[in-house]
Amino acid sequence: MTDLSPSPQDRRLVRLLVQVGTGLFTLAITLLGLLLITFIIGRVVPIDPVLSIVGERATQAQMQAVRDALGLDLPLWQQFAIYVGDALQGDLGRSIRTGDAIVSEIARYFPATLELATLGTLIGTLVGVPAGVLAATRPGSLADQVVRLVGLMGYSMPVFWLGLIGLLVFYGKLDWVAGPGRLDPSYDMMMQFTLTTYTGMILIDSALNGAWDVFRNAISHIILPAGLLGYVSMAYISRMTRSFMMNELGQEYITTARVKGMPEWRVIWVHAMRNVMVPLITVIALSYAYLLEGSVLTETIFAWPGLGSYITDALFAADMPAVLGGTVVVGVVFVTLNMVSDIVYRLVDPRARA
């Protein structure tokens, strides 16, 4: 008699398909909710987009023509449907200030934010993880107290204050780093008109072009704001690493490994860290997302032409389409990073795969 029951491989495939389908459905609902929130904000703010486009001296006929072109007289559900359809096609509207497509403007500004946040996250991770491990393996010691104090300062001090103090000390007094901006004016002209742009991130593009003088100048500009963001990220990562590691070091399998005479470095960095990395992946991803979306003050202080500065300038100019478009991009990045961290979490942890 033929056995028609599904094989273990078929059951695993079904579970995988269910997980993928559930993840995609959750992602779609989240993005739809994000679009709904931004749509509502765009309709309730006390700013008339028609008046911002045509100006105060326009006639009623001109204002009505623009209103008809924007579809503002349609029912709200129909306006939302059009908004979602355009967003799915990559159309976030046009900037009131410049008249350019918002997607193309964000594409010019976002690489600067990506470069700054990525370097800041790398600094925070490379410093924060070892610092947290050091504090966890020596609880109550001087090293533990220093790590906790430095982390507490990173949590407590306002970012804009740290940025201003950093500029005053390292740029104004010591002259160790370059000033605000991404490049000196001469190198900026070279980057725009001489070198080939591949990614929009100056460090990568200058290295690919072999323009090491531009690379060094870019490093001198980015090291202070990236170090500042890295310090904020390190405070969070080191604290969470310390907590996770102390919890793992109290487990029975760690005691068993020590009783068997296993070297301490192997107990910590192989056995304990293998389990610490599972929740730590989420912590690092959330820290990265925070730096991508929360670096507005840092970009403003350091005149960094990134997405945060773009949204801030658009807000001051009452350019709500640009503000909402930037908000949608930030939300999509945040959701995407959470999804990626969940995928990596499943790859690292066999229990999640099972």
Dig out the tokens for 174 from the structure: 């010591």
Is position 100 within any domain? no
Residues 79 and 226 in one domain: no
Residue-range definition of the domain harbouring residue 192: 107-353
Residue 208 near residue 215 (C-beta atoms within 8 A): no
Q: Token digits for 131?
A: 């610092």
Tell me: do 69 and 121 sit in the same domain: no
Phi-psi region of 274 (alpha: psi -120 to 50; beta: other; left: phi over 0): alpha
Q: What is the pLDDT along the chain (354 residues), one digit of tens a residue?
A: 455 566 666 677 777 677 777 777 887 888 888 888 888 877 777 666 676 666 667 777 777 777 777 677 777 788 888 888 888 888 888 887 787 888 899 988 999 999 999 999 999 999 999 999 999 988 888 988 999 998 888 878 888 888 889 889 998 888 888 888 888 888 888 888 788 888 889 999 989 998 899 999 999 999 999 999 999 999 999 999 999 999 888 888 888 888 888 888 888 888 888 888 888 888 898 888 888 876 777 888 888 888 888 888 888 877 778 888 888 888 888 888 877 777 777 776 665 555
Residue 102 lies in a domain: no
273 and 344 housed in the same domain? yes
CA 205 to chain centre: 21
Separation between Cα atoms, residue 170 and residue 350, nearest integer Å: 47
Whether 47 is covered by a domain: the verdict is yes
Residue 134 pLDDT: 92
Question: Same structural domain for residues 70 and 125?
Answer: no
DSSP one-letter string for 190-220: HHHHTSPPSSS-HHHHHHHHT-HHHHHHHHH
- Kindly report the pTM of this predicted structure: 0.82
Same domain, yes or no: 152 and 274: yes
Q: Say how far apart CA 152 and CA 184 lie, in whole Å.
A: 35
| Distance of alpha carbon 183 from alpha carbon 190, whole angstroms | 10
Query: Tell me, what's the pLDDT at 220?
Result: 93
Flag whether 101 is in a domain. Answer: no
Q: In one letter, which amino acid is 154? A: G
Give the whole-angstrom CA distance, residue 247 versus residue 245.
Answer: 5
Residues 177 and 219 in one domain: yes
Instruction: Say yes or no: 269 and 194 in one domain.
Output: yes
Considering the domain architecture, whether residues 264 and 297 belong to the same structural domain is answered as: yes
Please report the pLDDT score of residue 1 as a whole number: 46
Helices and strands: H and E segment counts in the chain: 17, 0
Q: What is the pLDDT of residue 53?
A: 67
Q: Give the bridge partners for 94, in sequence order.
A: 101
- β-strand partners of 101: 94
Q: Report how many domains make up the chain.
A: 2
163 found inside a domain: yes
Question: How far is it, in rounded angstroms, from Cα 318 to Cα 26?
Answer: 33
Around Cβ 178, how many Cβ atoms within 10 Å?
21
Report how far residue 277's alpha carbon sits from residue 264's, in angstroms, rounded to the nearest whole number.
18
Residue 328 in any domain: the answer is: yes
Tokens of 10: 């078929």
Taking Cα atoms as reference points, which of 225, 220, 40, 207 lies closest to residue 121? 225
* Number of C-beta neighbours around residue 320 at 10 A: 21
Query: Closest Cα partner for 129 from 277, 229, 6, 2?
Result: 277
Q: Going by C-beta distance under 8 Å and a sequence separation of 6 or more, which residues neighbour residue 170?
A: 176, 177, 224
Co-location of 276 and 307 in the same domain: yes
- Are the beta carbons of 124 and 255 closer than 8 angstroms? no
Residues 75 and 137 in one domain: no
Residue after which a domain boundary falls, among 88, 123, 153: 88
Nearest to 46 by CA among 337, 304, 318: 318
Residue 7 is given by DSSP the state P
Q: What is the CATH number of the domain that holds 188?
A: 1.10.3720.10
Number of C-beta neighbours around residue 105 at 10 A? 21
Note whether 67 and 160 are same-domain residues.
Answer: no
Same domain, 310 and 191: yes
